[in-house]
Amino acid sequence: MAQKKRKPRTKKSPRMDIRTVAAHAKVSIATVSRTINHISTVDPVLAKRVWKVIEELNYFPNTQARALVSGRSHILGLIVSEITNPFFPELIQRFEECAVDRGYEILITSTNYDPKRMISCVRRMIERKVDGVAVMTFGIEEPLLDQLSSQHIPLVYVDSRPRQSPARTLNVDYRHGIWQGVQHLAVLGHRKIAFLSGPLTLHTAQLRYHAFVDSLREIGIAPNPAWLIEGDHTLEGGMSGTEKLLKLADVPTAILCSNDMTAIGVMHAVLDAGLRIPEDISVIGFDDVHIAQFTYPPLTTIRMSCRDLAQGAITILCSGLESSSISPNVHDLVISTELIVRRTTGVPRDTLRDLKPLLPASPIPMHMLSTKK
């Protein structure tokens, strides 16, 4: 006796699933499934009927079930240090945009610089069966690698490469960015340029540091050790670094910073000292965080394209997943940088004296910007 395969289903319960759709459209569930997945071998007539029913019934496929059977969750994980760090929001936004465009959802987790939470982040990723994860933390923990790779989850480091890892990496073109900053300052007439670096234990901070020194040498200036200060990528670090600088017998006329938070700290310290920006001291940041445009004056800074960063990460992550033959060897991508001139950079006073009086003090008109190369 061929009992119904399925339980009678408490009757009266108009559960909305693929079966309901199939029944209404008078086709099998397989056809509905194929239609939803845009499989081209479906008779257009049937497909149309199915779509119509889906519309009418207001049916939404259950992602959980799809994930369960297909083995692909269509979720991309994102591990950041701290959401409130001004560095992250725009990056997250871009990430979301790119992911959604490709049909993925993103799972954001933050470590809050706490190793315990990092463990938990990784666990959450694995439990939700993410298809890949992008790591954007500052102090990297290693358990990550092992755990995730043991689950065969693709991994990509965004702007934070650990020593040597099997994971792929996004490479930001720090050299060019810093070079542009130095050139900009040089063109304005600055010769006494200080650099407030990040913590030199960070690989990416080192890259910026070396880029600065090299760029300086390129224009024939020997770096003055007293003007090379190690900061910590925080506002406080920027302030204390600046205080050291201002105590010097020979005070620089411009300060280039390893990130924007440092630059904001520099601005506070400079203003606290009763000096003006950019008349007395020019300041340049790095990152172009969202709030850089809201400082007073708005901060001149070097932007790295968040869109490229996010897109790159997602491309790398997806390239392994999707069978599309494109992008075979996108192992390491390079992200470009760009100088954003706002109002914290101007002609140094000493220079002003020697120039024709009709030269505008600040801001500098666009045509004065260096674009040579």
Partner DNA sequence: CTGTTAGCGCCTTCAG
Partner DNA sequence: CTGAAGGCGCTAACAG
Residue 110 binding partner per list a copy of itself, DNA, none, with a CB distance cut-off of 5 to 8 Å that depends on partner kind: a copy of itself
Cis amide prior to 357 (ω within 30 degrees): no
Determine which residue in the list 178, 185, 235, 333 makes contact with a copy of itself, applying CB under 8 A.
Answer: 235
> Which pair of structure tokens corresponds to residue 204?
């990416």
Distance between terminal CA atoms of the chain?
84
Angle among Cα 284, 287, 289 to the nearest 5 degrees reads 100
27 binds, among DNA, a copy of itself, none (CB under 5 to 8 A by kind): DNA
**Residue 309, φ and ψ in degrees, nearest 5:** -60, -50
Q: 295 is in the binding site of which of DNA, a copy of itself, none (Cβ under 5 to 8 A by kind)? A: a copy of itself
Q: How far is the CB of 79 from DNA (least distance, A)?
A: 23
Task: Give every CB contact of residue 112 below 8 A, 6+ residues apart in sequence.
Answer: 81, 82
Smallest CA-to-CA distance from 81 within 117, 107, 105, 106 is with 117
Q: Which is nearer to DNA, 46 or 369 (CB)?
A: 46
What span, in angstroms and rounded, lies between the C-alpha atoms of 137 and 140? Answer: 6
Min dist. Cβ of residue 57 to a copy of itself (A): 11
Residue 34 or 303: which CB sits closer to DNA?
A: 34
Q: Name the CA radius of gyration of the chain, rounded.
A: 27
Does the bond joining 297 to the residue before it have cis omega, within 30 degrees of 0? Answer: yes
The residue whose two tokens read 């004065």 is: 368
23, 30, 39, 83: residue in contact with a copy of itself (rule CB under 8 A) = 83
Q: State both tokens at 232.
A: 């910590």
Q: Are 300 and 342 in contact (CB under 8 A)?
A: yes
How near is the Cβ of 124 to DNA at its closest, in Å?
15
Q: Residue 299 Cβ, how far from DNA at the closest point, in Å?
A: 48
Using rule CB under 8 A, residue 271 touches a copy of itself: yes
Residue 65 neighbours by CB distance under 10 Å: 11
Q: Does 268 bind a copy of itself (CB under 8 A)?
A: yes
User: At closest approach, how far in Å is the CB of 160 from DNA?
Assistant: 32
Best CA proximity match to 299, nearest among 243, 270, 340: 340
Residues forming contacts to DNA in the complex (CB under 7 A) are: 5-7, 9, 15, 17-19, 27-31, 33-34, 36-37, 41-43, 45-46, 61-62, 65-66, 68-70
Rounded to 5 degrees, what are φ and ψ at 20? -60, -45
Contacting range for a copy of itself; rule: CB under 8 A; set: 23-31, 82-90, 178-186, 346-354: 82-90
Binding mask 94-133 toward a copy of itself (x if CB under 8 A, else -) reads --x---x----xxxxxx---------x--xx-xxxx----
Q: How far is the CB of 27 from DNA (least distance, A)?
A: 4
CA pseudo-torsion sign 267, 269, 271, 276: negative
Measured distance CA(312)–CA(328) in Å, rounded:
14
Pick out residues in 283-302 that bind a copy of itself (CB under 8 A).
290-291, 294-296
Q: Amino acid identity, residue 20?
A: T
Considering only 23, 68, 226, 361, the residue that binds a copy of itself (CB under 8 A) is 68
Residue among 8 and 220 whose Cβ is closer to DNA = 8
Q: Which residues bind a copy of itself (CB under 8 A)?
A: 58, 60-65, 67-68, 73, 82-84, 86, 88-90, 92-93, 96, 100, 105-110, 120, 123-124, 126-129, 150-151, 235, 261, 264, 267-268, 271, 290-291, 294-296
